[in-house]
A and B are shown apart, each in its own frame.
With several copies, the nearest count.
Chain A
Amino acid sequence: MGGRDATLVLLDENGIRCDGRKVDEPRRIMIKAGGLKNADGSAYIEFGDNKILVGVFGPRDVHPKHMSNTDTGILRVRYHMEPFSVTERKNPAPSRREIEISKVIKEALEPAVMLEKFPRTAVDVYIEVLQADGGTRCAALSAASVALADAGIPMRDMVAACAAGKAADTIILDVNNEEDQAGQADMPIGYMPSLEKITLLQLDGVLTPAEYKKCVETGIHGCKIVYELQKKALTDKYFGNGEK
């Protein structure tokens, strides 16, 4: 949690947040399945002001060979931010933060992907953050699930993701950039709604044990909202826009 801006009111007397949302209301979310021409599967997500593209290749051969596994397929994930995606221009080389988030997202997707069906091959998930606004890892994970499904990779469940957090001593859903900078805690959650499994969970910031429980509950609530939008995105692509 960074320094606090004294003039920013994170939550007003009516329980309305700095961007007009209620405490349990996510930002505007738009998910689109497909879109990229060369990738085997792809998705685009706008999550608040986050704009993220995900492309998937695979299952395909692994180079170098010794990285492949004779018993199962492997999942490789790269999370990467464009130089222009953040306020201060980002150096194009991958940062330690990007390497860690790549790993966390990979481990959040692995329980959902039936890699055992494709021994010796790799599935590559490439995440590109075009514009960042707090909560990129959840938005990226949600889009990556849709892109994997769009690529026809067999999956046990979708992984939907949303953050919960704490600001103005209140547990809130989907922490935005201001709330992350000035707030008290941020807890990104990735969740498989059908299998009821949490596959991504992180926390920065201080919570009492009671707040901790409420925060996980709130985040899972958000994941379920995202899950519906993921299903809609895939339905829209494969069955047209008739169903809403």
Chain B
Amino acid sequence: MASTSVIDELKKSQILELLEQGKRVDGRTLDEPRKLIIEINAIPKANGSARVRLGDTEVICGVKIQPDRPFPDMGDKGIFICTAELLPFSHPSVETGPPGPDVIELARVVDRGIRESHMIDLTQLVIQKNKSVVGVFADNVVVDYDGNLFDACAYAATAAILTAKTPKWEMKDDVPTLVEGGESHVPTTTIPVSVTMGKIGNYIVVDPNGDEWASMDARITITTDSNGNICALQKGGNGGFTFDEVIKCGELSVKVGSKVREMLKQAKERGQ
């Protein structure tokens, strides 16, 4: 999805021409994300799940919660792992096989956005210190691709975690054992929201769609928390940003993020 063709060049000219008039190919303003639909509990057998549509990009996240051994030197904390995979039908160019650098970066950026916000209170996910902790695994699968997987995956994972129920385990004979009726919500402290912006020519656009993604010079993904603070950031693409652009993107991420956060809050309430 990163190769450049003659058609891409034509599209890019057209996109740039419109931007000079303050317009985008799909009629949005520059700081307007696409329509976001969050369906929770799409996979009832998972501990939590969400199906997210961001324009024509679609992602499903399933959360599995199960006992695990803690990481070394982290015996007083639960485990959080977030993955991402492009299903082969999500775009004709997707290949099966081990993930490439693009997908590895995607997964790691989504993971860090959630991790660095301290969204999940991992200190509450200890079954027995140094021996057994609770692992929260948020696996994203991309069903349809139309640009900006970073935000779509982040929203799906966040919604799935916000609505997930964790079973309770206690140690019995050195084995973590399920406690009947001990279900509760995953302990969370904040709602991180990722906002990805593309730079096309000298314009910054929020939530680039597939055509914009193929045309942009650089991108930046900024995650903010419920306090409006910035907690994670990743620049990508083979172009650069000016200082002013980087500051402007920070402001955009707070502004756009607060609107998306409202939708995630509503999803959480539907999951009560």
Q: Do chains A and B touch in the complex (CB under 8 A)?
A: yes
Indicate the size class of the contact surface on chain B: 35 or more
Interface string of A186-223 (1 = CB under 8 A from B): 01000010011111111111111100110011001000
Whether the pair B66, A89 counts as a contact (CB closer than 8 A) is: yes
Chain B residues, Cβ within 8 Å of A83: 62, 64, 83, 137, 139
Whether the pair A198, B101 counts as a contact (CB closer than 8 A) is: no
Indicate the size class of the contact surface on chain A: 35 or more
Interface string of B47-80 (1 = CB under 8 A from A): 0010000001010101110100000011000000
C-alpha gap A206/B233 in the complex (Å) = 10
Chain B residues, Cβ within 8 Å of A200: 235
Whether the pair B235, A197 counts as a contact (CB closer than 8 A) is: no
Q: Return A16 CB to nearest CB of chain B, in Å.
A: 24
Q: Return B117 CB to nearest CB of chain A, in Å.
A: 8
Among B96, B112, B235, B243, the residue within 8 A (CB) of A220 is: B243
B88 at the A/B interface (Cβ < 8 Å)? Answer: yes
B241 at the A/B interface (Cβ < 8 Å)? Answer: yes
Among A100, A104, A196, A208, the residue within 8 A (CB) of B243 is: A196
Chain A residues, Cβ within 8 Å of B259: none
Whether the pair A209, B89 counts as a contact (CB closer than 8 A) is: no
Among B87, B229, B231, B247, the residue within 8 A (CB) of A126 is: B87
Whether the pair B247, A216 counts as a contact (CB closer than 8 A) is: yes
Whether the pair A78, B233 counts as a contact (CB closer than 8 A) is: no
Task: Kindly list 10 other residue pairs between chains A and B, CB separation below 8 angstroms, not including A37-B144, A88-B66, A92-B83.
Answer: A51-B43, A60-B92, A82-B62, A96-B104, A103-B104, A111-B238, A187-B233, A206-B229, A208-B230, A216-B247
Sampled A-B contacts (30; CB under 8 Å): A36-B143, A37-B58, A37-B146, A39-B89, A49-B45, A57-B89, A80-B87, A82-B141, A83-B139, A85-B62, A89-B64, A99-B101, A103-B102, A128-B89, A130-B42, A130-B60, A131-B43, A192-B240, A195-B240, A196-B243, A198-B241, A204-B116, A206-B225, A208-B229, A208-B230, A209-B230, A209-B251, A212-B250, A216-B243, A216-B247
